Amino acid sequence: MTKQRLQRIISEAGICSRRKAEVLITEKRLKVNGKIASLGEIADLDVDIILLDNKQILRKIEKKVILINKPIGYISSCSDPHGRLTLLDLLPSSIKQGLYPVGRLDLNSRGAILATNHGELSLKLTHPKYAHKKTYQVLVKGSPSLEALSIWKNGIDLDGIKTMKASISVLKSDSNETLLEIIMSEGKKRQIRRIANIIGNPVLDLKRTAIGSIKIGQLKEGNWRILQEKEWKHFLR
């Protein structure tokens, strides 16, 4: 990073305008490496310690939220000691620095997953108490009975804890396989696959199509797009 005028550094850090920054400097409220700063002085946040009222100014980090259509065969992680492909391998190096996956999709599942550097957003989307809905299209073997689907909808025991109610619709069905739409507000490890096995209709394909109001839409498998702030800001409320 090259050196810049202090006014620009303060403005880009999101503290105030450049004109207001000039006032702060003339009021002797800024220090660079322990010395009171002066108008026209230049510095580099990567090298110099800049204090405003004795509090260090840090570079403002741009919040990035990426929607990825994860293919089968990628793990929901930043790296893998076994050398497997990860979610971040789908992103160019210029984009993925500092990002990490929000939640998980297992190796053999596909569809919508987010990557971000926004810690608060990640917490709001993954902590059980916020109970954000996620939508899945799940192809299962055979044709589940109405009784089995009712049990699934109303909650089923997993590891001694009853799952939360889910919305389940049959999109299409024949004797060999059934396509379900499942909307749920929790995500225990391999929950959908485990329940499908319990009712006797194992999963053939699992695709997440939406995270709350964020839909995969026409985004092709293996592709990604940067979300606009208006698409995710409401999750922070």
CATH 3.30.70.580 fits 62-131+216-237, yes or no: yes
CATH 3.40.640.10 fits 4-56, yes or no: no
The rounded distance, in Å, linking the Cα atoms of 119 and 123 is: 6
For the stretch 121-178, pLDDT in tens is 888 898 888 889 999 999 999 999 999 999 999 999 998 899 999 999 999 999 899 9
- CATH 3.10.290.10 residue spans of the chain: 4-56
For the stretch 38-89, pLDDT in tens is 998 999 888 889 999 999 888 777 889 999 999 999 999 888 888 899 999 9
The CATH number that domain 133-211 falls under is 3.30.70.1560
The rounded distance, in Å, linking the Cα atoms of 199 and 196 is: 5
- CATH 3.30.70.580 residue spans of the chain: 62-131+216-237
Query: Known catalytic residue: 89?
Result: no
Specify whether the CB–CB gap between 78 and 111 falls below 8 A.
Answer: no
Q: Which of 46, 80, 89, 106 is catalytic?
A: 106
Give the predicted TM-score (pTM) of the model.
Answer: 0.77
For the stretch 84-129, pLDDT in tens is 999 999 999 888 888 899 989 999 999 999 999 888 888 889 888 8
- CATH 3.30.70.1560 residue spans of the chain: 133-211
